[in-house]
Amino acid sequence: MKRTSVLLFVVVSGVLLAACGAPAAPEGAPAVPPPAPLPTPSTSPGDGVPPEAQDLPPLPPGPPGAWLPERDAQGWPRLQAELAHYRLDLAPADLELLYTHLWDEDLQVPGRFTAYGRTWAVQVSLRGQSTRKAPKKSFQVRFDKDDRFMQRKRIELLAEYADAGALSEKLWYDTAGLLGLQAPLARFVTLEVNGEQLGVMTELEAVTKDFLVAHGLDADGDVYRCGMYNCDLTEQPPPYSYQEPWDKRTNEDAPWDGLNALLSQLNRTPPQDFAAWLTRRFDVEGFLTWMALDAFIANDYQTDARSFLVYEPRTGQWRYVPWDLNNAWSHLRRDQPADQRPWVGLPVPSFTAWDPTAYELAEFRQGLGATEMRPAWCTLRTRILMDPTLRARYAERLRTLLAGPLSEAQLGARIDATAALLAGPLAEDPFALPDYTAASAPFLRRFVRERRDFLQQQLSALEQIAQTGPLKLDRAGRDAQGRLFVQVLNTGAEPVSLGGLYLTGALRDVKQAPPLPALTLQPGTWATFWERPAEGELALGAQVDPQRPELGLYTADAHHPLDLLWLPPQAPGEALARSPRGAEHYVRLTDGAGTP
């Protein structure tokens, strides 16, 4: 299915954003009416709870992480032999409250959670974004900090309603574990709510302090979650009002200096220092592996996914923790025929400045009334691909994983075993569709096979992604009076016109300034654009923040970057230059050495 067709369907069906957090209403878009004043939820532990849901002795606490599965001989998290059954009991009025106030993200009601012969007093809320409208709901269950469930204060129960096979999200979290990534544990359970059987759910580990302890990470670490539409790792506060702030999950009362410094350095470190800085400050190996897996599963809408960054004081490094993998285009769509063909053509590299869908989605949402919406792509991913050494490492990582762990030969058995595990429970699931249950494993196998083939065909272009086209941002700096200048160089063998191209000082606002004039550059020549131009000089229309300088040169359709540049603040007489001209190597020039 073509992406445009998918997006049109999404609007018609009212599920535009398959993400885990409720967004702010887009500017100019029809707003969801606010909920009516809420009655006070019932707080009586027994109100509406069947008499058989009694408190039992607590489970043995066990060591941290004792509930995590062992690894099998291939390195997979060991697949469970059966599905545990969970039960939620809420006062009927409280359940009705949740179901009639779908968009109140803060609404929680008391209830009872029963599993393994034991009952806990809990707080229950709905979770998800568009999934709140689905007939089968997803829930978040919170436990008292002194009476945790298997060492956890919170669990997420995902309905996976859009995935008629219910296989893919857990498969990809398991694959992340196979590849050595610190990712949330996912397992299957069955759920009933007030006696109604909801069938198979995916239980997903919450990323909290409990996650750090269970996975052997620094228990004193900082866990941050990016805000809705604010996962592109730009400096904070975010530049646009629709972007929601980050959330801190641990050490909440401590300063946010670490995150703020990381994002500032990510966006201000000059290109010649970037690889060394990133290696010191970030789990680069883990992130390169995640980028490869993310590309393979055709993950999408990452800006809506609200993933996590974790800082470990004992190592001084940050690591990325993925979230919301139900946005991958690998699930068996309930809204399509059971014999549907998987869509494997999501462009690579996704969630980068070269991802055409970032620009298409922004324009699509602008058309719905979100007029401030801008293209969303990740600074970290993009800068990795701009650096020749890091780009080569990423391409090699993707090539290696496609040849081994991400092949059908490796994934096929896991897919079949997971489908066999779910066959019985899905037969009892009131929301399952038998034809889709039978089709799910063959569908996923085909996705694995065809997506792998697609990516292998893209590898050569991926290795040259930052070197397409002859035009380069060759130098940028300030003269002795502090005037900013930018030089655009033609590195090709033929004349090239700048007419209609966009030169911007805000990388998510491509059309910040009018298009460049119809100026033709001969091979090996450059044009210099000046802030506050003198007579005879070319004017720089782009507005560049002197404290957060960045530059982008884009094609006339405003969808394809020709070159991108991140700079630190510059003093008069300082410049950043490619050396030699047009190369991928940069140097810092001082004392006016780079001034035209």
Domains in the chain with CATH codes: 39-159+183-213 (no CATH), 217-463 (no CATH), 469-589 (2.60.40)
- What is the per-residue pLDDT across 384-440, written as a single tens digit (0 to 9) for each? 999 999 999 999 999 999 999 999 999 999 999 999 999 999 999 999 999 999 999
Distance CA 498, CA 521 (A): 7
Q: Strands, E, within 182-336: which ranges? A: 186-193, 196-205, 222-225, 247-248, 308-312, 317-321
Q: Is 60 exceeded by the pLDDT of residue 13?
A: no
> What number of H helices and E strands is found in the chain?
13, 22
Structure token digits, residue 529: 């654009």
pLDDT of residue 88: 98
C-beta separation of 545 from 536 below 8 A = no
Average pLDDT over residues 566-576: 97
Between 203 and 327, name the one with better pLDDT: 203
Which of 182, 131, 151 lies closest to 59 in space, CA to CA?
Answer: 151
Q: Strands, E, within 331-483: which ranges? A: 471-478
Q: Is 80 exceeded by the pLDDT of residue 52?
A: no
Which range (209-213, 237-241, 451-455) has the least confidence? 237-241
Which of 172, 181, 88 lies closest to 126 in space, CA to CA?
Answer: 88
Residues sharing a CB contact under 8 Å with residue 116, sequence separation 6 or more, in sequence order: 59, 84
Q: Is 90 exceeded by the pLDDT of residue 2?
A: no
With bands split at pLDDT 50, 70 and 90, how would you rate the model's confidence at 129? confident
What proportion of the chain, given as a percentage, has pLDDT over 90? 82
pLDDT of residue 304: 81
Which range (6-10, 135-139, 453-457, 547-551) has the least confidence? 6-10
Average pLDDT over residues 268-275: 98
C-beta separation of 547 from 267 below 8 A = no
What proportion of the chain, given as a percentage, has pLDDT over 70? 89
Q: Is 50 exceeded by the pLDDT of residue 345?
A: yes
Structure token digits, residue 359: 């620009």
Q: How many Cα atoms are found within 13 Å in the side-chain-facing hemisphere of 526? A: 19
pLDDT of residue 66: 53
- First and final CA of the chain: distance in angstroms? 51
- In this structure, is the dihedral angle defined by the CA atoms of residues 511, 512, 518 and 520, taken in order, positive or negative? negative
Q: Is 70 exceeded by the pLDDT of residue 351?
A: yes
Structure token digits, residue 158: 């995902």
Q: What amino acid is encoded at 292 in this protein?
A: A
Q: Is 50 exceeded by the pLDDT of residue 9?
A: no
pLDDT of residue 468: 81
Average pLDDT over residues 164-179: 96
Which of 477, 502, 474, 498 lies closest to 488 in space, CA to CA?
Answer: 474
With bands split at pLDDT 50, 70 and 90, how would you rate the model's confidence at 197? very high
Q: Is 90 exceeded by the pLDDT of residue 360?
A: yes
pLDDT of residue 506: 97
With bands split at pLDDT 50, 70 and 90, how would you rate the model's confidence at 303? confident
Q: What amino acid is encoded at 305 in this protein?
A: A
Which range (59-68, 192-201, 302-311) has the least confidence? 59-68
Average pLDDT over residues 495-520: 97
Give the mean pLDDT of the chain. Answer: 89
With bands split at pLDDT 50, 70 and 90, how would you rate the model's confidence at 27? very low
pLDDT of residue 41: 47
Cis peptide before 349 (omega within 30 of 0): yes
Residues sharing a CB contact under 8 Å with residue 397, sequence separation 6 or more, in sequence order: 288, 289, 291, 292
Beta bridge partners of 488: 473, 527
pLDDT of residue 65: 52
Residues sharing a CB contact under 8 Å with residue 86, sequence separation 6 or more, in sequence order: 113, 114, 115, 157, 189, 190, 191, 192, 201, 203
With bands split at pLDDT 50, 70 and 90, how would you rate the model's confidence at 14? very low
Strand 84-90 and strand 186-193: the pairing is parallel
- In this structure, is the dihedral angle defined by the CA atoms of residues 101, 106, 109 and 113, taken in order, positive or negative? positive
Structure token digits, residue 481: 């009076």
**Spacing of C-alpha 570 from chain mean position:** 32
pLDDT of residue 239: 86
pLDDT of residue 549: 97
Average pLDDT over residues 537-561: 97
Q: Is 70 exceeded by the pLDDT of residue 364?
A: yes
Q: Is 70 exceeded by the pLDDT of residue 161?
A: yes
Which range (40-44, 257-261, 430-434) has the least confidence? 40-44
Strand 317-321 and strand 308-312: the pairing is antiparallel
Q: Please name the helix (run of DSSP H) or strand (run of DSSP E) that holds residue 486, with its range, or none.
A: strand 484-490
With bands split at pLDDT 50, 70 and 90, how would you rate the model's confidence at 218? very high
C-alpha triplet 238, 244, 250: angle, nearest 5°: 100
